[in-house]
Amino acid sequence: MNINDIKVDVNEQVDQIFNKTQALYQHLHQHPELSFAEQNTSERLAKELSDIGYEVTTKVGRTGVVAMLKNGDGPTIMLRGDMDALPIKEQTGLDYASQEVGKKDGRETAVSHACGHDMHSSCLVGAAEVLYNLKDSWSGTLMLICQPAEEVFGGAKAMLEDGLYERFGRPDVILGQHNMPGLAGTVGHRSGVAMAACTNLGVIIHGNGGHGSMPAQTIDPVVIAAHVVTRLQTIVSREVPPEETVVVTVGKLHAGTQANIIPHHAELEINVRSFNDQIHAQVVDAIHRIINAECEAGRSPKPPEITIMNDTISLDNDAATFESVRRAHADYFGAENIYEVPKLNGSEDFPLFGNASVGGFDGADIPSLYWFVGSTPAARWEETEGNTVVEKMRNLEMPHSPYYFPGNPTTLRTGIETLVVGALNYLPSLAAELA
């Protein structure tokens, strides 16, 4: 479909549904829910999509929602939005800031949408209504996904394991997006690898505790853990080719209760990120090797317990899909509002939907594309130090900050329009067929 032929119609439709979508956004922002606990969120989104006219199925992959609109012959276009929040206390000062609490690992915690998944869900619903209202101009099938648990890399896998494609059909192309600290009204694209693979490991190192005054009668897991932390830093410097980007972070190290007690065990959590899935696997193997070797060297009474808490592959945008959607976005928003986004070391489970071997579905990989919608209002962007997107990003709040807020009207509107334009780019025009 030629986007320019329907641009006025899209603008008019977005105008009509914008206030409604903004109200939905503010509601979701005020009432966030943690990963796999999105009960109220999924119910609200399901109702919104059902009221528009979509055939809606809930509880797909625990709390996921699938909304289908079959509108004649044509391809199936999947649009994905995530909906879970984070265990972070919001500090934005908004009059609709979250006051919600939830439970994380059995402990009560403040909850907020510090990553903008409320924005993604709202944009998806807004785009759904625009596309429904324009259904006389296109043919094909829309498959809308409200995905749970992106923050723990669990939702995409859960929905796929629940028979997503077997139950609802296999899409021909998959489109998704994320907000980011770019100029509101602009859209960032990148062909190929755009986001990092990520693995989070949990480790328990066993010792033999006792009195701090008699270390010779103990096996100290704290010393072993300290050697592990230090040794892990040599993986990147001595085992990874210099041209590759890899980060190994020990984000958690916990042991003991007080100074004069040598504990029985130490706990670590390790985060690995890279842009090369093969290198990534080698780094994870090296982590296992080092932990086991240090435990043996430290006389640990039994092998360490190493578990993969969650993981995801790198996000690799299909080149042909990138070229097609980027061109459509440039036609709609103007080429000056489209830019090349840098590689981001953050991670997503979105690529599992398109990768057959990792996603666990039959057949070839499904072409997919993931782009970025600017979230910084123009005045703030202008006053932020830096000449490039990367330079300015370093001086702006990022997702997962308690001060991060992407919900300005320009970003919300742009996020609706990017999804609409992306879908229409692949849906055959009925006007063209009738001509």
Q: What per-residue confidence (pLDDT) applies to 431?
A: 57
Mean pLDDT, residues 229-245 taken together: 97
Q: What per-residue confidence (pLDDT) applies to 1?
A: 66
Domains and CATH numbers, the chain: 3-194+314-434 (3.40.630.10), 197-311 (3.30.70.360)
Q: Which residues pair with 373 in a beta bridge?
A: 179, 187
Percent of the chain exceeding pLDDT 70 equals 99
With 0-12 / 13-18 / 19 or more C-beta atoms within 10 angstroms meaning exposed / middle / buried, residue 168 is buried
Backbone Cα Rg of the chain: 24
pLDDT digits (tens, 9 = 90+) for 377-419: 999 999 999 999 999 999 999 999 999 999 999 999 999 999 9
Q: What per-residue confidence (pLDDT) applies to 15?
A: 98
Task: Check pLDDT > 50 for residue 128.
Answer: yes
Q: What per-residue confidence (pLDDT) applies to 380?
A: 97
pLDDT digits (tens, 9 = 90+) for 286-299: 999 999 999 999 99
Q: What per-residue confidence (pLDDT) applies to 268?
A: 98
pLDDT digits (tens, 9 = 90+) for 169-192: 999 999 999 999 999 999 999 999
Please answer whether residues 224 and 294 qualify as being in contact, where contact means their C-beta atoms are separated by less than 8 angstroms: yes
Task: Check pLDDT > 70 for residue 435.
Answer: no
**If we measure between CA atoms, which residue out of 361, 352, 397 comes closest to residue 198?**
352
Can you give the pTM of this predicted structure? Answer: 0.96
Mean pLDDT, residues 342-356 taken together: 97
Task: Check pLDDT > 90 for residue 326.
Answer: yes
With 0-12 / 13-18 / 19 or more C-beta atoms within 10 angstroms meaning exposed / middle / buried, residue 301 is exposed
Mean pLDDT, residues 88-96 taken together: 98
Mean pLDDT, residues 248-257 taken together: 98
Task: Check pLDDT > 90 for residue 255.
Answer: yes
Average pLDDT, the chain: 97
Q: What is the DSSP-derived secondary structure letter of residue 64?
A: E
With 0-12 / 13-18 / 19 or more C-beta atoms within 10 angstroms meaning exposed / middle / buried, residue 243 is exposed
Q: What per-residue confidence (pLDDT) applies to 228?
A: 98
Q: What per-residue confidence (pLDDT) applies to 433?
A: 44
pLDDT digits (tens, 9 = 90+) for 7-57: 899 999 999 999 999 999 999 999 999 999 999 999 999 999 999 999 999
Mean pLDDT, residues 77-83 taken together: 98
**If we measure between CA atoms, which residue out of 47, 28, 246 comes closest to residue 123?**
28
